[in-house]
Structure 1
Amino acid sequence: MAESMQGLKRSHRCAELSKANIGETVTVMGWVQKNRNKGGIVFVDLRDRSGLLQIIFENGSIDEAGFEKAGKLRSEFVIAVVGTVEARSGAVNENLATGEIEIRAREIRILSESETPPFPIEENSKTKEELRLKYRFLDLRRPDLQRNLMMRSKAATLTRQFLAEEGFLEIETPMLIKSTPEGARDYLVPSRVHPGNFYALPQSPQIFKQLLMCSGYDRYFQIVKCFRDEDLRADRQPEFTQIDMELSFVDVDDVIDVNERLLAKLFKEILGVEVSLPIPRMTWQEAMDRFGSDKPDIRFGMELVDVSEVVKDCEFVVFKNALENGGSVRGINAKGQGAMPRKKIDKLVDFAKDFGAKGLAYIAIQEDGTVKSSFAKFMSEEEMHALIEAMGGENGDLLLFAADKNKVVWDVLGNLRLEIARQLEILDKGDYRFLWVTEFPLLEWNEEAGRYTAMHHPFTMPMEEDLDLLDTDPGKVRAKAYDIVLNGTELGGGSVRIFNQEIQNKMFEVLGFTREQAEEQFGFLLSAFKYGVPPHAGLAYGLDRLIMLMAKEDSIRDVIAFPKVKDASDLMTEAPAAVDRKQLEELGLEIAKIEE
């Protein structure tokens, strides 16, 4: 039978007590982790968000009714205990913050009883994620998840403090906005008052933060929810949180400086990790050429080598065709992997095919220097020797090659080097390697639409020295855009914005917008640009991704309190769900039957 707390007040959280409190009378409250009844004495591990604490109930220290209650405790019962802090009578538990002490109970109240939970509440749970997410309220009691969410809270608090000290103002932007079809798919919200019209949920506060710069707020930030109706992956959610900022009267270096200092503060205060500043920078082109990725993991080598020149005269038709079609031949050297069994190499070939490769060519150099290769018969001995030399190949190495259009080759080898690093288990989650990637292409060609689209968004400033290319060769224009990358994950990105009306109109023209279309979608921003715009720039981080890496987790679901699963549904609340007919009628909506 549950009792009330009346008259009792908690004095400490469980793990806030230590040797310093020996002799004090304290009141603690929490959940029963486990209960061991040894006849005349009952040991209970009590848990709250701070950690575990051992309580002992012994006849003589507590009355008979209290001792009887202690004997009935089961896991996840919620109890309050009044008692005295003592040095632990048994062996000290080195693994526990409170391992040197215990509480000798003199009063107990059972505040709430619990059914047997569907899985044990313990760290590093082996329970299937689906079951844990269905009972997320129980899953969130696990100490590792609680630590993650406390870390997230601390990061948000430190970010707010740091940015406030740097002169940023926290300003909220609306959640119900106008839909803009550029970019990812919007979540739509029907309007009851304006039948047939819809709001969209923001994919980012982009336009509003630029308007705030037009309005003279100088430095803005927000820790803000954003929404994208996209197909999901492990590090994507339909709703996610950004640390969003915009600054006036700045250029690239100013934005990078303030963000480097923010990251250094977070890593120092939360993890005790020193981030050495300045963080290295690499252009997009160099990142693609060396790592095959615009978010390179620089914790290990295995860099791409362009061997197009070396093989340009060889008879291997795969290489020849790629070069004739304007592509390239590039390779990576998996050091010391020359003895990899054929079966494993075939698996790597299948992996490469997932990223658009037609196949992989390889050279396995044995420890004795003999060479096994999938294409040796098409190469002269000199050509083979030159190729191995160009790759820095030594006895015991495995050389893997892709030949295709650059985009495919980069994608294949960029992912392949990561896959091999994973298989070799050489990636240390505690080795934090930051990198700025700069000078992204401004535009990318969209085959389907038959036009250029903005790589970031239509308000990104081209590099001044490339402005003339907008008319002659738009694909070559570089943007004043920058991403902050950590261990192969893009943490955030931003750019200097266009603040010149002519350049903005030119940009819309290159993107295939008519004047009317630009006006219809972004009229209020273009209108604001007529009334004095400061040069401005900004950046946004994915907070979920940042915390995932800081907490050394593999999925952002482990750092979000109530995440969605792959199909964007919530297993606990069973959202999304059907709504009743009356609500639909009020909104003037009808659900069309989709033919299977």
Structure 2
Amino acid sequence: MHAFRSHTCADLNKSNVGETVRLSGWVHRVRDHGGILFIDLRDHYGVTQVLCDPDSPVFSQMEKVRSEWCIRIDGNVKARDPELVNPKLPTGEIEVFVRDLEVLGAADELPLMVFGDQEYPEETRLKYRFLDLRREAMQENMKLRSDVVASMRKRMWDQGFREYQTPIITASSPEGARDFLVPSRLHPGKFYALPQAPQQFKQLMMVAGFDKYFQIAPCFRDEDPRADRSPTDFYQLDMEMSFVTQQDVFDTIQPVLKGIFEEFGGGRKVDADWPQISYADSAKWYGTDKPDLRNPIKMQDVSEHFAGSGFAIFAKLLEQEGTEVRAIPAPTGGGRKFCDRMNKFAQEQGLPGMGYIFWREKTADSVAQELGIKVKEAQAMLKSGEVEGGMEAAGPLAKNIGPERTEAIRQQLGLGIGDAAFFLGGKPKAFEAVAGRARDVIGKELGLLDEDRFAFAWIVDFPIFQKDEDTGEVDFDHNPFSMPQGGMEILETDPLSATGFQYDLACNGYELVSGAIRNHKPEIMFKAFEIAGYGEDEVRKRFGGMVNAFKYGAPPHGGCAAGVDRIVMLLADQVNIREVVMFPMNQRAEDLMMNAPSDPTSDQLMELGLRVIPQE
């Protein structure tokens, strides 16, 4: 028999009754039923119930065993009594009577329990990650991640891609975040960088003629942590193709990702139609470039209804250039309490408030107030038809702008009795983000989201440049290496209106993919950087490898990268990316388990020619 096991803890069933077996695993839990010890023995594959009574030669040893001890047992497989069968377990029809026991690894008192669903502080979970990972939910998350990556690889190979590896130690390059720098021992005072992405290398591969590349690539960025972003490193499905248009990239990656979500989404609906929405429209309709399309709310510009109206705040605001008023429809949100709650939400987000109108059945109270009569008289007039019933608009804004304008707003937004609308005004960039968050909260609180669904959208036509309103300086708004739509002509005639062949894929409010058709023409690249204030010499210095390569017959090429961690997070129905990363850092970018970052030794610093300046 094998030194540690003849079967895993998921293998045994009724067909094994009567066999002598050997199992190894961890003590999941111990139960003492009147002198008979029952142990749920767990390994990576499942759980088997083993038992031991005073007739067993190792009963006294078994009494000492505690949770999470690693043990090996030999025993006889027995059928459970029919009334004791556990249909939830693959091994639920049998149990193993223990004849021999070896403790492979005893466990100290546990800082967190593996059995059960107790919640523990994140700091505890990360410090003892090796224990946290023993929990069933974490085991399932990590298996899911592994299966997703394997499926990604197969699907990419099936589409004619080959996987190539790019360097981990490279030169610093601006990818939108801070680099992790690595000091060079052989070249004192100089530094390598960990790659923020394989961007330049995969483009150089296209110049080298490889045509189709992919990689499950590690990326390193010194970023501030968020729930959906690691502060140090992450993995992405990275791909690039030659001789392609933007639509070719979409047509290639879409079936890969759709297949992944269908395979691992647990039966949730995966939208077949992935709309293409311009960056400008996405900001206008959803307040973000990663909209959650499970939420049906679409914001609209209602400036015309407030211009010159009795609501002085918006009316005066609209006299300024570049301002507008947007409405957030709220179907079924037509109650004063909900409206007041959303107004408070806006104040918590740093705005003065959020105006609202809601529509309701006309009431005797409102008629009495409007006509200056008693409520009983108003009731009689409504009953007799002397005053027409139906719908009325309520809220401070409705009183200020009057019935004609409120009715026009209602019709534009397609609302009715029991519905509401919220309003924000100013320069869009100042309020769009809050409006987008308000849209999310309204949709969730009113139960408008189709939770059992993955809704995708391509966000396209990203602006290349932005102009600082205070200084007048122009800089890149998004990826500087995207090919401008319109090429050199648009850069020479109207660069601030230029949009790039750049795109993101949003799903359920998260950005899953980012990519572009690349600017492979040096003269267009130099012009784009010149507009943003970077001279040709600086471009050659910072991106010399790529600029040099593009002089030797660079093909048109493009691609994208899909965030593996974020995809798995969605599939696992988690809201924190650390739940699907094996050994993540905490919110301060610390590894509490391995004590990183740590202080270097004096010898290490001396060898590298470095000195650490103490921080106050």
User: What is the TM-score with the length of structure 2 in the denominator?
Assistant: 0.89
| Residue 202 to residue 313, structure 1, CA distance change in 2 (3 Å) | same
Match of 2:164 in 1: 171
Hey, what does 2:341 align to over in structure 1? 344
What is the aligned counterpart of 1:139 among 132, 136, 145?
132
Aligned to 1:72, what secondary structure does the other structure show?
coil
Does 2:565 correspond to 1:544?
A: yes
Distance 1:275 1:549, change over 3 A: same
Q: Tell me whether 1:335 sits opposite 2:357 in the alignment.
A: no
SS in structure 2 of the partner of residue 229 of structure 1? coil
Q: Which amino acid aligns with 1:350?
A: Q
Residue aligned with 1:118, SS:
coil
List aligned pairs for 1:515-594, cutoff 5 A.
515-594=536-615
Number of aligned residue pairs: 583
Task: Give the C-alpha shift of residue 245 in structure 1.
Answer: 0.9
Instruction: Tell me the equivalent position of 1:241.
Output: 235
Residue 288 of structure 2 aligns to a residue whose secondary structure is coil
Q: Deviation at 1:208?
A: 0.6
Q: Which moved more, 1:283-292 or 1:418-427?
A: 418-427
Q: Name the SS of the counterpart of 2:285 in structure 1.
A: helix
- Native 8 Å contact 1:37 1:71 kept in 2: no
Separation in 2, partners of 1:162, 1:449:
49
Q: 2:521 aligned with 1:500, yes or no?
A: yes
CA change 1:188–1:130 in 2 (3 A) is: same
Instruction: Label 1:83 to 1:322 Cα distance change in 2 as closer, same or farther (>3 A).
Output: farther
Match of 2:74 in 1: 82
Unpaired segments ≥5 residues, structure 1: 1-5
For residues 416-495 of structure 1, what are the structure 2 equivalents within 5 Å? 416-424=438-446, 427=449, 429-446=451-468, 451-464=473-486, 467-495=488-516
**Moved >6 Å (runs of 4+):** none
The aligned amino acid for 2:187 is H
Aligned to 1:378: 400
Q: Which of 260, 263, 266 matches 2:260?
A: 266
- 1:253 pairs, out of 224, 227, 247, with 247
Q: 1-side partners of 2:471 and 2:574: how far apart?
A: 38
Q: 2:87 & 2:154 partners in 1: Cα distance?
A: 35
Distance 1:458 1:198 in 2: 24
What corresponds to 2:315 in structure 1?
320
* Cα-to-partner distance string for 1:445-497 (whole Å, 9 max, x where unaligned): 35688543334422111223x75332232222121112111111010111111
Alignment partners' CA distance in 1, 2:325 and 2:213: 46
Matched AA of 2:574: E
Contact 1:246–1:537 (CA under 8 A) maintained in structure 2? yes
Q: What is the CA–CA distance in structure 2 between the aligned matches of 1:208 and 1:154, rounded to whole Å?
A: 27
Change in 2 beyond 3 A, CA 1:324/1:94: farther
Equivalent position SS for 1:332 = strand
Deviation at 1:121, TM superposition (A): 0.8
Q: Indicate how the Cα distance of structure 1 residues 308 and 265 shifts in structure 2: closer, same or farther if over 3 A, else same.
A: same
| Separation in structure 2 between the aligned mates of residue 95 and residue 444 of structure 1, nearest angstrom | 59
Contact map agreement 2:31 2:38 (CA 8 A) in 1:
yes
Structure 1 residues 182 and 281: alpha-carbon distance in aligned structure 2, compared to 1, 3 A threshold: closer
Q: Is the 8 A contact 2:358 2:419 kept in 1?
A: yes
SS for the counterpart of 2:346 is helix
Task: Tell me the CA shift for residue 124 of structure 1.
Answer: 4.0
Point out which structure has higher relative CO (alpha carbons under 8 A, 6+ apart): 2
Alignment map for 1:369-408 (pairs within 5 Å) = 369-408=391-430
Q: 1:434 to 1:27 in 2, by over 3 A?
A: farther
Query: What amino acid sits opposite 2:290 in the alignment?
Result: K
Equivalence for 2:379: none
Letter in 2 for 1:383: R
Letter in 2 for 1:225: P
Tell me, in whole angstroms, the C-alpha distance in 1 between the residues paired with 2:467 and 2:77: 69
Could you say which structure has the larger radius of gyration? 2
What letter matches 1:156 in structure 2?
V
The structural deviation recorded for 1:425 is: 5.3
Aligned counterparts of 1:525 and 1:544: Cα–Cα separation in 2: 29
Question: Is the 8 Å Cα contact of residues 92 and 99 (structure 1) preserved in structure 2?
Answer: yes
Structure 2, unpaired ranges of 5+: 363-390
The answer to whether the Cα contact below 8 Å between 1:222 and 1:245 also exists between their aligned partners in 2 is: yes
User: Given the superposition, is the C-alpha separation of residues 437 and 181 from structure 1 closer, same or farther in structure 2, using an over 3 Å criterion?
Assistant: closer
Q: Secondary structure at the match of 2:290?
A: coil
CA distance in 2: counterparts of 1:377 and 1:216, whole angstroms? 68
* Matches for 1:2-13 after TM superposition, within 5 Å: 8-13=3-8
CA displacement 1:14-36 (0-9 Å, x = unmatched): 12334454444432211101111
Q: Deviations over 1:206-235 (max 9, x none)?
A: 001100111111111111211111222111
RMSD: 2.3
8 Å contact 1:460–1:481 — kept in the other structure?
yes
- Structure 1 pair 305–107 and aligned structure 2 pair: CA distance change class (3 A): same
CA deviations over 1:276-301 (Å, ceiling 9, x no partner): 54533222233222222211101121
Larger displacement relative to structure 2 (75-84 or 363-372): 363-372
One-letter amino acid of the counterpart of residue 546, structure 2: L
Matched residue of 2:165: which SS? coil
Q: Take 1:22 and 1:282, find their aligned partners in 2: how far apart are those partners?
A: 61
Tell me whether 1:159 sits opposite 2:156 in the alignment: no
Maintained 8 Å contact 1:362/1:398: yes
The residue number in structure 1 matching 2:373 is none
Q: Partner of 2:579: helix, strand, or coil? A: helix
For the residue of structure 2 that corresponds to 1:380, the secondary structure is helix
Equivalent residue letter for 2:344: K
Q: How does 1:186-201 map onto structure 2 within 5 Å?
A: 186-201=179-194
- The amino acid across from 1:582 in the alignment is D
Q: Partners in 1 of 2:235 and 2:217 — Cα distance? A: 5
Q: 1:127 aligns with which of 104, 111, 120?
A: 120
- Give the TM-score normalised by the residue count of structure 1: 0.92
What is the CA deviation profile of residues 84-133 of structure 1, one whole-angstrom value per residue up to 9, with x for unaligned ones?
43332243334434333322333322211111211211354311111111
**Could you give the per-residue CA deviations for residues 394-423 of structure 1, whole angstroms, max 9, x where no partner exists?**
222221100011223322221111122333
